[in-house]
Amino acid sequence: MAFELYNKNLTVETPKLQNPSISQGATVTDGGLTVTAGGMTVTAGGLIVTADGAEVTAGDIEVTDGDVIIGSATKGLVHSGTGTITQGTSGITGVTLNATSGVITTFAATLATNTEIEFTLTNSAIVATSVILVSMQDENTQAASALIVSTNTVGAGSVKIKQFNGGSGTASATANKIHFLIINAG
């Protein structure tokens, strides 16, 4: 037996409805489904959201056997736990930014060809097994330079970020932006 609601909202609140169970299926056509306490578990099949989206305000969304597929997203993967910081007095000055993604504006200094500099990003979200993705938004005006960014020495609470000029010219004294994203295993 299926449970269908048309043009209505289904609200499950504790303790009004204890241990609700639908054995065949449930369809909410025009309205919403709200679970105020507890959780919602889909054990076989899937959860399909077609129009207005789904939002989790507290807790996790966990996929234990399957994939997270973004079909035709207009904004891609949107992450709101981000931050920004500007590096201080030199290209080797460390920065602290406690967000799972962000933009570090580097100190504006020249970087000679075949030269690297390194600074430490201190961040409470980083653990020893974190994967730190970085990219360089190169604002450099010297066409013969080629700035590269990478990470090393990932540890609890910090990672070292390297900038390298692999080009044939000295990079201009321009502040660049290093974007990062922290991915932690469950």
Q: Is residue 11 helix, strand or coil?
A: strand
The owner of tokens 């807790």 is: 59
- Give CA–CA dist 120/153, Å, rounded: 9
82-183: CATH architecture: Sandwich (2.60)
Span 37-92, pLDDT tens digits:
666 666 566 666 666 666 666 666 777 777 777 777 777 777 778 999 999 999 99
Looking at the chain, the whole-number percentage of residues with pLDDT higher than 90 is 50
Looking at the chain, the whole-number percentage of residues with pLDDT higher than 70 is 67
Q: Is 178 exposed, middle or buried (0-12, 13-18, 19+ CB in 10 A)?
A: buried
| Domain ranges for the chain | 1-74, 82-183
- Give CA–CA dist 161/172, Å, rounded: 19
Cα–chain center distance at 88: 25
Q: How many CB atoms lie within 10 A of CB 83?
A: 13
Average the pLDDT over each of 20-34, 55-69, 80-94, 128-142 and give the range with the smallest value. Answer: 20-34
Q: 14 pLDDT band (50/70/90 cuts)?
A: very low
pLDDT of the residue at 15:
47
